[in-house]
Each structure stands twice: as C-alpha cells, then as structure tokens.
Structure 1
Amino acid sequence: MKKRILYSFILSAFLLSSCDDDFLERAPLDEISNETFWENEEQLVLATNALYANVKAKNTVDMENMGDNTLWPSTTQYQLIGSGNFGNDLSTLNTEWTTQYRGVRQANAFLENYQKATIDPARKEALAAEVRVIRALMYSYLTNFWGDVPLVKNTLSIDEVYVPRNPKEEVVNLILEDLEEAAQHLPSEIPTGANLGRMSKGAALALQARVALYNGRWDVAEKAAKDVMDLGVYALFTSGDPSRNYYDLFTYKGKLSRNNNRETIIARPHLEDLVLHNLSREIQVPDQVVRWNPTKSLVDSYLMVDGLPIEKSPLYSIEKYEDVFENRDPRMTQTILEPGAEWGGRYDGRPISENENPNVFMVPKFSSDRRGAVTITGYYFTKYAEVSTVGMVGRDANDIHLLRYAEVLLTYAEARLEQGKLTQEDIDMTINLLRDRVGMKHMNLAELAANGMDVREEIRRERRVELALEGQRYFDILRWKQGELLAQDVKGTNVNWLSNPASAANLRKDQNGFIVAYTGRTFDPSRNYLWPIPLSQLERFPDLGQNPGW
C-alpha cells in the first residue's frame, strides 16, 4: 500500500510536468515518460488514482466561511473573501487558481495519452470518464470563482502555458459535454470495496445537474437530476431514528466504507488510521474557541414544526436560551447543538454535581480558560462532529461529503420551479422526502400560498438548511444575486436569553441584546460577484485581463 501511494505521488509529479517538448530523442530509461508509461491497465489506473488527489477534501467545508452560516473565531482568507475586504494579492486566490489548473493539466495529460494503452476498450473509456468528471469538477470551481477563465484542453509547453481567458459559457459547455460523455461510460452501481470513492455514472450526472443549476440552464439541470433519480441506486441515508438520521450521516455511521450509505455520490472517503483530518475537533474543540460558530442568520432560517418561519409561527416564543431549539425543523438540532445533547466540548467550567454528565452540553461558554469549548456566537455545531474523535488532534476519519442525493432532489425541485413547471408531485418526490427522513411537516404549495409564503424563498431555505456546512452556501448566495446578505453584520444569540447574561458581558451586542460577532463586512455588486484574477497570474500574463471593479 505504501509503495502504491508513493508511486502515485511520483506519478502526479510526472503528470504535472509532462508536455509535448521533443528535445530528447530517446525515452529516458530511469524515469516515467510518455513514451514508456501509457501501456497497460495498471498504469492507467495509477494515473487515474493520482488525479483524485485534486478533489477537494475538508477544504470543501472550509469554504463555508465565505457564506453567512458560520463564523471562524480568527481571520481566515476564505472569511476575508466573504467579507469583501480583500484584494487580488490574497494568496488563497492564487492557490485556488493553481490548484484547479493543476488538476486540469493532469487530466489533459491522461486524455492525450490513454488511447495508447492496450487494454479492453470499455475499461479504457471508463477510466477516461473518471478523469473527465474530475476535470469538470476543477473547471466548475474556476468558473464559479472567476467567470471567464482560460479553457485548456491539452497539456502545454512552457511557451504556451499563458493563454487568454475564454467566455464562461464556453467553459461551461465543455464541463457539461465532459459529464455527458463520462456518464455514457461509467457504471451505474455505487462504488464499493476497492472502488470506494471513485466516480460513477451518478457522479457525472449529479455534477452535471449542479453545474447546470449554477449557470441557469434549468432544463439541463432538471434532466440530469431526474436521470440520477431514475438510476434507482440512490436513497436518503437513514440509521433508523428520525431524531438522528440526518446527524448520523455525517458521523462514522455514515461512512461509505460501512456500506450502508446510498446517499453520498461524490466524497473524499477517509480510511481509519490512514488519511485523517481534524474537522470534528475544530467543531467542538474542548479547550479553545470552536472554529465553526453557527450564526443567528442560520439559526433563524429553520422553520417551526408547523411549517412556518419564526416570524409567522405562533409556536415561536423565546424566554430562555433553550427555547430557541423548541418546536423547530428537526434538522436544526441535528445540525446545531442543543442543551442536553451529547458533545465533545467536555467540562464547561461550572461546578459539576453528581447527577451531571460533563459529556452533555448545558450552556454556551464565552470566556476561554481552557476548560471547555468556547463560542463567539453562543451556538455550536453538532453536524460533522464525530464525538469520539473531538478530544484527539488530527484523528478524524469522517468522510467529507461533496455531493449527495439530497442535493440532487433539491436541484430537481429548483430547476422545475424556475421553468414554471413545479407541482405538488414534484415537491413530494423531492423536498418532502428530505422532511420525511427527520419527521418534519411536509411542504404543501397550497399552504404556502395561504400563509403568504413565497415558493422560491422556501425552496431556497430548504437548500440552505439541508446543505449547511457543506460548502454550498456562498455559491448559492452569488447565483441568487443576494450579495447583500454577505454585507450584514454576523450576529449570535441574545444574551438576555442566557441564564447568566453576565457570562457574555465582554461581547459586543446590538440594541436588542444580540451578540455582534463580526462587523465591517461589505459587498460591492459591481465587483464582488466574481473574484479578481490573482495578482501573481496577472504579473506573469497581463493579457488575462481583470474582472470588473478590481
């Protein structure tokens, strides 16, 4: 296994450096080269495996810091992007640019050479299809970030590497074409065993649905989403308990390797004791400020169990902190920690009686004394927190879910809505399946109208609460042209609801008592819907030009 991993790293370097230069007349005998490598199935598999390193892992969740669902306690570059307070010299811009194009280049090298291998043609095309899905994923991020980007379909020599940008529509066309072709050659079955985590037909179609939705190609999004649904292999995850079904998906119970998750379509699986991360600890770190702080905006977005938003429901009445979690969409308490729930934040500094369990959350903690998890908004996440690993550094083997069947269902509903085709039947076969999983009241179009609720707003709300902390919120805000949401102060709980308001005395509050955790955000619609071209790329190739307003 270790030799195979090392070989994959060497192969990655080869794929990055390979080009069409013919300054050597003979193939080198002591290193990988195009002349000797692309010969058999094992080599194609190794080349494909190397490409998977380009698929985002935990940084998919990190991108949530650009939206309005969560707040990092210290300044991060993703957070700066979301706040609008950054320039084109921000290093993350260049990192994202070079990372995505590294994957594109590796994919291009494969697609230029794979036909040389002498193997079963169907197997050859299936491997190429996996590569096309990964290339499409890379280009999807590039167009999301920058709009117009260079469209590169072959490996380039050093003299060719700097090329002008192509219109976004051309790049999106390639993405959708890549995914359409890939779907024709990939297996419909969910990958298991040695193929765990590999791209499948469902992955190609689900990504096609997402890209089409992001780019307003509603008919394509609808068809691709329905094609996934019609495969008949995917289903929403359940652990048998509506009060935990959603939460369990994002813990070890939902790991793909346990073979009971038919929901996750694209993921970065993590094998226990092999490739690990630190997400669970960051969510409920027991001796520091937690890295992921749910915002008032996210908390307020959850409906009441009667299907009404908090501003309309007679069930919403808050006198104390615990009341915030009462009678809410069950996904709220499976995403945001409620008093009485198990957690890994441990001892919160209060005296503990004989009847108290330090592993059960009771009250938010605002001052840091290294004796419990500290929050800056008054809220904690529980989603994605595998409690068994919170107390350990870098020992989390939780899978990172990049695209789920739940998103496909939401895409279908939204695409139908935007074409004026949405029916109650559509709602029942999509959104109401998500609600059934947790025991939430069904969405009913007639009831929405009777209660003066906008259907588009409610479908968007459904997407927000279902996909919270999965890296999608920022992109949704941008495509919905709701950038003004990113300019608002980030707020938390109301200190007057706390049993001990003095515990939050050191925090800034608004006139109503809500914590103001972050201020000074801005959003300029003339420029912030796109990122600026990174300064280092412009210095190398000024003809890239700059996005408007930058």
Structure 2
Amino acid sequence: MKNLRYIFSLLSLVLFLPSCNDAFLDREPLDAISDVNFWQNSEQLLLAVNGAYAYLKAKNTVDMENLGDNTVWPTSTSYRLISSGNYNNDLGTLNTEWVNAYEGIRRCNHFLENYQKAEMSDEALKSRYAAEVRFVRAYLYSYLTFLYGDVPHVTKALNVGDPELYGPRDDRDEIVAWILDELTALADDLPVSYPNSDFGRITKGAALGWKSRVALFYGQYEVAEQAAKLVMDLGHYALYPDYYELFTSEADASKNPGNKETMLSRIHTTDVSMHNLSREIQVPDQSARWNPTKSLVDAYLCADGRPIDDSPLYDESSYAALFEDRDPRMKMTILSPGSPWGGREDGNEANTDNSTYTAPKFNQNRQGSVTATGYYFSKYCDLDAVPTYNRDENDIIIMRYAEVLLNYAEARLEQGTLTQADLDMTINLLRERVGMHPMDINELSAWGMDLREEIRRERRVELVLEGQRYFDILRWKRGDLLAQDVKGMKKEFILRQQDVESVPADEEGYIVFLTGNTFQQDKHYLWPVPLKQRDLNPNLDQNPNW
C-alpha cells in the first residue's frame, strides 16, 4: 500500500495541464513535466493512477451520515441543513461536491487519453491501471447521479474554451447504464486481490460490489443480485469475527491480513494521512460532533428479534436499562454505561473514573464530552486517537462484504424470490457474528412483522456511520423520515437536571433537539444544480421546484 499512502496529491501541481500547439513551443523544456515527456513508462503511469485514487472519499464517506437520520451534528452545518430540507441552491457544499467530482473525472479522462503512450512490456498491467482509473470515474459519476440526477456526461479531458464545457445535462438513465456497463467491463481487468503491501487498490470484488450498490439504488434488482452473487462466489471475502473491532485500527485491512471483510477503504498512515473522526465522536472538552438519535436507538431490536414496542424484554425504566437485552450491535455502536471512553468527565458527578462512561453529559464546562441527544457513538472510535486533534490513522471503509450480503438479500426480496436459505447465507451470517436472534420468515409472519421493513432495519443497524443511510432513504422514497423532529433520550434520566432546564421535550418526555425539518416529495429527492455552475453555464437546466 506504500504507493498509495504517499503520493495521492503529488501530481496536482504538475500534471493534467492543457498542452500548447504553437510551433515555437514544440520543444519541451527539460525541467518541466508535460504530456510529451510524462507518459513514458510504468513508473509514471503508476504515479498518475495513484493521483486518481485521491478522489475516492475518505472521512467524507462517514461525514455523509449527517445527511440522514442516524446522527445529528450539534451545530448548523451544510449537511445538517440539507438533511433538514432548509437550504437553497447557493449552499456551498452543493458546489463543492460538483466541482470535486468533475475535477476527479477530468483527471481520469486525461489518464485514459494518454496511458497507451507508455512503453510497458506487461500489457495486462497497463490494462489493470486503466481499469482502476475507470472505476474511480464510474464511482464519481455514481455520486453525481445519486445527488443531482441528470448531469453532464463527459468522457474526455476538457480544456478552457472547449464547447463541451457549456453543454447541457445528460439523461441520468443513460449515464447509469454507462456506469453499470463500465463496471462490468473493467472488472475483467482487475485481480481478486493484491499483496498486502498494495491493499487499497481496486479489485474485481470492489468493482462488482459497487455495481450491486448502484443497481440497487436504481431499482435494477436483477442486476444488483447478479453482481452481489458474483462477489459472493469469488470465495475471497468473509465476515470479520468481531463487529466492534472491525472499525478500529487494529482491524485495518491494510495492516491486518486477517480482515477479509473490507473490500475497499481509504488508507490512513501516521504523520502522512490522518483524520479526526475518533476525536469528533467523543471530543473530551466540547460537544460531541456525532450524536445518535432516538430514531436510531429505537431501531435496534430486542434480543428476541422483536421490536421494542412488541417485546417483553424491552425495559425503559432507566437509561442503562435501554441497552440491555437488545441487538448486540447496539452496544457495539452506541456507547453504553460501563464502557471505556475517551470523553473524560461524564454526566455523573459521582463517577471518579474518567476512563469509564456512566451517564450522558450536558454541562458545557469544557471538562468532558457533551451530548446533544443523550447518546454517544462507540463505533469507529479509537480511544487512543481521541485526546489529540487530527491524529486518527484508522482506515475509512468504503465497501465491505456485509453490504454485499445485504444487497443480495434486498435484491432477492424486491424480485419476490427471497427464501429462508437466502437469509441464512446473508443476513443471518451478520446476526450470527454478534450473537443475535436469527431472522426467520415464518416467525416474522407470525409476529406480524413486515419482511421488507426488517431487511431495511437490518441494513440500517449494520451500516451505521458508513455513509449509506441518506442514500437508502432516497432510493426507498422515505423522505418523510427526514421531515421528523430530531429527538434524544428521556429527559427525566439526566442526572443534572439543571443542565437541561431550557431543553424542550415532547409529550412523552423525550428531548427534542431539532424541529422545523421539511421534505418536499416533489423536490428534495434531488439536490439542486449549484447556482454557481448555472451562472458559469446557462445551458444547465434546474431540477424540479428548485
């Protein structure tokens, strides 16, 4: 992996500039890098490929969880505004997402126009390099179509003055068909695996897995099923035995060859590429940035496989009782009393052990991590990285095998072909890993539980903080979930009531952190084309009702 760790941005100042056609400039300066003297050998090609990898989302994969209803940021941010429905087409993040994607697409297009110039004895390696770059391009177009719908579909490197810069948007369905075809074709040129030193490069499984995600988003269930099954049939991937540990640096697949679940991740390394996620989750002197919502907490089934409103095991007599007899992934994801933590002082003045969490803190005295909802995350939090800003070297997972299993099960369900055997080789493997009651079709029917809703619930609790919840809400057409108030714990369980005297609660006594959310069914399933892009290109039409 050393090739990717150090040179994501090395090319940014020297490559992908338009060449000049003036005759007096035909002789390239010997001390400059250009198209004429760069695309010559395998080493240069590898450098260019690695530059494209920088456009795969790193921590921003997790940040996009703030668009959904699993977590809430304590202060107003662009993602929180989008989630609430209270934003316009001039919001900066809309333009940033658009610009970053097209910068990456231009880099990929430029590579694909030039890589054949390199003299290499290994043509298969050259084809693999091209496949890696084609994947990055398809990945970027996936997000563009997820978010904006129709977008300009550009497959060549554009320069200033090119008329295509001012072209209209292309039909999303046509672009999606192209994405799926690309992923099918490029997968043939990719290996199933790499040596551990090169972990993080695109594999056949990652390409097919991404194909299953895209196909699922667009309701192409047969395609999604087939792509997921191809990954399963590779025989290369397996679930990591410890769900909690999977999201710590100890299990990083770039360092731990025993991790066969992570299919694609952004690699992070000490003093080279680090982030701040762990500290944001339990920041020890401010408000925690990631606050689980009541909606998420309530989504976890009880240990008997029943929802909280239908299980005799559910106990809401105290804050600690909420965590007992629940799906074990709840405690592996949401911090429970008695767990180690890095947030220093908690909300229990009698607790003298700052390394152990006992109660949520609402007192803004800069002596401990403050929650907005009464809950904290433990998933993706390396306690050693909490005390110091931006020193988290935990890899960020982009895709893992558990998602492929979930994709397969959902695709089968939506085609009306899901069987108990399918559940046993997909969802029940996820439950078996954590010791959770298995999903049984006959049992669900007897209990009056809807199979589709339970498969969607399974996806939610398995993939929390992995940046997929918002996109699932969009494709399920459940925008109404984003229009609801954001709530937290029961106010009566807070030990220092003086800290929450002004905090509103609903009629049942639950904290109401955020109100005024809205979701217009004829508007908010697509982001608007950014105002700045329409100013630059008047030929870009706007999405409905924006």
TM norm structure 1: 0.95
In the TM superposition, what whole-angstrom CA distance separates every residue of 1:496-535 from its partner, at most 9, and x where no partner exists?
A: 2344544432311112110001111111111100000001
1:413/1:349 CA distance change after superposition, 3 Å = closer
Residue in 1 that maps onto 2:342: 344
1:201-240 to structure 2, matched below 5 A, reads 201-238=204-241
Q: Is the 8 A contact 2:428 2:438 kept in 1?
A: yes
Contact 1:507 1:516 in 2 (8 A): yes
- 1:394-421 deviation per Cα after TM superposition (whole angstroms, max 9, x unaligned): 1111111111100000000000011111
1:328 to 326, 329, 332: 326
Residue 412 of structure 2 corresponds to which residue in structure 1? 416
Within a 5 Å distance, the mapping from 1:134-533 to structure 2 comes to: 134-160=136-162, 161-189=165-193, 191-238=194-241, 245-256=242-253, 257-348=255-346, 350-352=348-350, 356-533=352-529
CA contact under 8 A between 2:128 and 2:189: conserved in structure 1? yes
How far apart in 1 are the matches of 2:36 and 2:93? 36
Amino acid in the other structure paired with 2:169: R
Task: Give the whole-Å Cα distance in 2 for the aligned partners of 1:448 and 1:2.
Answer: 48
* CA drift at 1:275: 1.1
CA, structure 1 residues 228+349, in 2 after alignment: closer, same or farther (shift >3 Å)? closer
Cα distance change on mapping 1:220 and 1:350 into 2, 3 Å: closer
Give distance in 2, aligned partners of 1:154 and 1:20: 17
Give the letter for the 2:282 counterpart.
Q
Q: CA RMSD of the aligned region, Å? A: 1.9
- Give the fraction of aligned pairs with identical amino acids, expressed as a percent: 56
Give the letter aligned to residue 53 of structure 2: Y
**Match of 1:493, SS?**
strand
- For residues 491 and 47 of structure 1, the distance between their equivalents in structure 2, rounded to whole angstroms, comes to 47
SS in 1 for 2:445: helix
Distance 1:441 1:414 in 2: 19
- Once the 2 structures are TM-superposed, how far is the Cα of residue 13 of structure 1 from its aligned partner? 3.9
Q: Is residue 2:128 matched to residue 1:129?
A: no
Secondary structure of 1:403 counterpart:
strand
7-16 or 179-188: which moved more? 7-16
CA distance in 2, matches of 1:192, 1:510: 55
C-alpha contact 2:8 2:54 (8 A) present in aligned 1: no
TM-score between both structures, scaled by the size of structure 2? 0.96
Give the C-alpha shift of residue 299 in structure 1: 0.3
Three-state SS of the structure 2 residue aligned to 1:333 is helix
Deviation at 1:311, TM superposition (A): 1.2
The residue that corresponds to 1:242 in the other structure is: none
Query: Is the CA contact (8 Å cut-off) linking 1:352 and 1:358 kept in structure 2?
Result: no
2:248 and 2:395 map into 1 onto residues whose CA distance is 8
Query: Runs of 5+ in structure 1 lacking a partner?
Result: 239-244
Q: Is the 8 A contact 2:487 2:511 kept in 1?
A: yes
Residues 177, 503 of structure 1: CA spacing in aligned structure 2 closer, same or farther, 3 A cutoff?
same
Shift in Å, 1:346: 1.4
Counterpart of 1:241?
none
- 2:102 & 2:440 partners in 1: Cα distance? 44
Q: Which runs of 5+ in 2 are unaligned?
A: none
Inter-partner Cα distance in structure 1 for 2:175 and 2:367: 51
Per-residue deviation, residues 108-134 of structure 1 (Å, max 9, x unmatched): 111111111111110000111111111
Letter in 1 for 2:66: N
Distance 1:274 1:439, change over 3 A: same
- Say which of 511, 522, 540 aligns to 1:544: 540
Give CA deviations for 1:192-238 in whole Å, capped at 9, x if unaligned. Answer: 43312111111111111111111111111101100111111111112
State the SS of the aligned residue for 2:332.
coil
The answer to whether the 8 Å contact 1:19/1:157 transfers is no
Q: Which amino acid aligns with 2:249?
A: Y
Matches of 1:157 and 1:539, distance apart in 2 = 18
Distance 2:216 2:3 in 1: 41
TM-superposed CA distance for 1:392, in Å, is 1.2
How far the C-alpha of 1:33 sits from its partner, in A, is 1.4
Q: CA contact under 8 A between 2:3 and 2:50: conserved in structure 1? A: no
Residue 444 of structure 1: how far off its partner (Å): 0.3
Query: Is this contact kept in 2: 1:20–1:155, CA < 8 A?
Result: no
Tell me which amino acid in the other structure corresponds to 1:207. W
Contact 2:73–2:80 (Cα < 8 Å) also in 1: yes
Please give the per-residue CA displacement for 1:133-175, whole angstroms capped at 9, x wherever unaligned: 1111100110011010111111112122222111001111121
In structure 2, relative to structure 1, the CA distance for the partners of 1:432 and 1:94 (3 Å cut) is same
- Report how far residue 19 of structure 1 moved: 6.0
8 Å CA contact retained: 2:348, 2:360: no
Using the alignment, how far apart are the partners of 2:453 and 2:508 within structure 1? 26
SS at match of 2:107: helix
Contact 2:278 2:392 (8 Å CA) reproduced: yes
Distance 2:21 2:462 in 1: 49
Q: Is the 8 A contact 2:124 2:189 kept in 1?
A: yes
**Amino acid across the alignment from 1:177:** D
Secondary structure of the equivalent of 1:478? Answer: helix
Asked if the contact 2:348–2:495 (Cα under 8 Å) also holds between the matched residues in 1, the reply is no
Check the 8 A contact 1:349/1:371 in 2, yes or no. no
Q: Is the 8 A contact 2:364 2:370 kept in 1?
A: yes
Deviation of the 1:14 alpha carbon: 4.3
One-letter amino acid of the structure 2 residue matched with residue 390 of structure 1: V
Residues 110, 20 of structure 1: alpha-carbon distance in 2 compared, 3 angstrom cutoff: farther
Shift of the alpha carbon at 1:25?
3.3
Q: Which moved more, 1:255-264 or 1:466-475?
A: 255-264
Q: Secondary structure at the match of 1:542?
A: coil
- The answer as to whether partners of 1:20 and 1:157 remain within 8 angstroms in 2 is no
